[in-house]
Chain A
Amino acid sequence: VGCRRPELEIFTGANTIRHKPLVLLTGVIILQILLLAVQIRRDSQGRLIRVWTVGAVSPFQRASATGVGSVRGVWNHYFALQNTSRENERLRHENDTLKLQINQLESKAAEADRLAALLNFRQSHQTIPMLGARVIGSGADSNSQTVYLDRGERDGIHRNMAVITPDGVVGKIVESYRDTSQVLLLTDKDSGVGAMLAESRIQSPVGGDGEPLLAMKYVANDDTVAIGERVVTSGMDRIFPRDIPVGTVAQIKPGNPFKQIRIKPAANLERLEEVIVLLSLQPLDLKKDAGTAAATAAAAAQPVKTQKP
């Protein structure tokens, strides 16, 4: 206590020292503005520093994801067993209900076409190479909706590859590093997917605006849309195959000149744990795939490049 710092001279009237931090502040801000300008002009994301930073942080994210998974596993398998008997009873009841539902489904001839289409859809996707990946982190700001995966270039992941879950569309790869990749979620305001209404086949892109619900922007007021109608991918963006679920219509408001339609995402984008990356940058044509699907299924000789994380 009692020492004086050189900075005390700021109060002695020495102008150069008084303004030194201010000059530095101005210089640093100008440098960063130039940095912003360079990125905008060249459309470069400053890749090198991003690679370094993500490379430094992702091992910790991976470790924390593993740690949380281990603790959760130990808790679920050893400490949280007191409800097992009750859950077993509930599952039996659920199983009985499901059996009943299956019987009902099998008795409905009208459902046969839909089941056949679903079967075709599944078979068509057997030819698409895909890779399972685990979500290990999220973007460090609340403005952009991104997550990091534990798979990267070494696993064959590249920019613009589609990311889905069994429930529906998640987003696309926007950056791929050595062992990590970054996914832009469908809810991000810069995100979008070619989509169409499943019943009427009306096409319109669906995008995010940072909110939990998505927006379907270009459906004319004359077109008929119902609440709860399914929205699927159209394949027009040449990233996602056709007929992957995007979501369901949650809100419809008249607008000028287009309806304001809000879509509830089919995939739970707020709680993603594992996703599937479609390892293809070629346009994926469902019809073409479906045509060959029967032969493929019959031969059962085509290996599907599917890995689990």
Chain B
Amino acid sequence: MNDTFDIRVAEAHIEVHKFRGGAIVAAALLALLLQASVPVYIPKFSVLDLPLLVTIYFGLSRRHPTTGLLLGMVIGLLQDSLSGPTVPLGLYGIAKTVIGYLASSIGARLDTEHPAARFALTIIFFGLHQGIIVLTRRLLLAQPEPWFTMHMCIAAVVNAVAAVLLFMLMDRLRKD
């Protein structure tokens, strides 16, 4: 079957997963739609960054750096488009491009199927994502942004917990 592949890296077997037709596009658009709609009814929902979680998941699963960075770029630019006027196009685009690239690069070297690994990686990627956004705002937009806040810390943990549950749900989209 060509649905999955084995890549022998050092001594580890890493599977590359394929998904049902249109699953990646549908999941990305649904994440953006929920991100732009649910906070109207549940304001606390905005602590989640669903587009980021989708970028991380498909990066880790597809394990193809080019696909990962391009998917991250598209999702990031669409998120920029749906954000407020204080978010210029490219801010989330750059951050999610880097995250997509790193997630798919790490996914090609490590087994990221275990919930503990997914939890830890999501916290790291969330922190990195925020770091890139703050760096971009400070360097390119000359906007004073704090490097670290307690809200950011809580948001990282909440997103990591959500990622573990969401990734298990999204595993069902795989062609196995």
Report the minimum CB–CB distance from B50 to chain A (whole Å): 9
Chain B residues near A141 (CB, 8 Å)? 46, 79, 83-84, 87, 92
Residues 17-67 (chain A) with a chain B CB within 8 angstroms: 20-22, 24-25, 28-29, 32-33, 35-37, 39-40, 45-46, 49-50, 52-54, 57, 60-61, 64-65
Whether the pair A139, B84 counts as a contact (CB closer than 8 A) is yes
Once bound together, how far apart are the Cα atoms of A146 and B93, in whole Å? 19
Known: A32-B97, A139-B82, A184-B85. A60 touches B69 (CB 8 A): no
Once bound together, how far apart are the Cα atoms of A104 and B63, in whole Å? 73
Chain B residue with minimal CB distance to A61?
B37
Once bound together, how far apart are the Cα atoms of A108 and B71, in whole Å? 67
Once bound together, how far apart are the Cα atoms of A270 and B73, in whole Å? 30
Whether the pair A144, B86 counts as a contact (CB closer than 8 A) is yes
6 cross-chain pairs, A with B, having the tightest CB-CB distances, nearest first: A144-B84, A21-B65, A53-B81, A146-B84, A140-B82, A32-B90
Chain B residue with minimal CB distance to A269?
B43
Whether the pair B37, A139 counts as a contact (CB closer than 8 A) is no
Q: Is the interface of B mostly helix, strand, loop or mixed?
A: helix
Chain A residues near B66 (CB, 8 Å)? 20-21, 24
Q: CB of A175 within 8 A of chain B?
A: yes
Q: CB of B166 within 8 A of chain A?
A: no
Q: CB of A271 within 8 A of chain B?
A: yes
Question: Which residues of chain A have a CB within 8 Å of any CB of chain B?
Answer: 1-5, 7-8, 11, 20-22, 24-25, 28-29, 32-33, 35-37, 39-40, 45-46, 49-50, 52-54, 57, 60-61, 64-65, 68, 135-148, 174-175, 182, 184, 188-190, 270-272
Chain B residues near A25 (CB, 8 Å)? 65, 69, 97-98, 101
Question: Which residues of chain B have a CB within 8 Å of any CB of chain A?
Answer: 1-2, 4-7, 9, 16, 32-33, 35-37, 39-41, 43, 46-47, 49, 51, 64-66, 69-70, 73, 77-79, 81-94, 97-98, 101, 105, 108, 136, 140-141, 155
Report the minimum CB–CB distance from B138 to chain A (whole Å): 13
Whether the pair A11, B86 counts as a contact (CB closer than 8 A) is no
Known: A20-B66, A53-B82. A8 touches B7 (CB 8 A): yes
Known: A25-B65, A57-B33. A1 touches B1 (CB 8 A): yes
Chain B residues near A147 (CB, 8 Å)? 40
Once bound together, how far apart are the Cα atoms of A45 and B51, in whole Å? 21
Chain B residues near A272 (CB, 8 Å)? 40
Chain B residues near A144 (CB, 8 Å)? 83-87
Chain B residue with minimal CB distance to A24?
B66
Q: Which one of B1, B9, B65, B88 lies within 8 Å of A36 (CB-CB)?
A: B88
Chain A residues near B7 (CB, 8 Å)? 4-5, 7-8
Whether the pair B5, A1 counts as a contact (CB closer than 8 A) is yes
Once bound together, how far apart are the Cα atoms of A190 and B36, in whole Å? 20
Report the minimum CB–CB distance from A88 to chain B (whole Å): 28
Whether the pair A271, B43 counts as a contact (CB closer than 8 A) is yes
Q: Which one of A20, A45, A53, A64 lies within 8 Å of B37 (CB-CB)?
A: A64
Chain A residue with minimal CB distance to B155?
A142
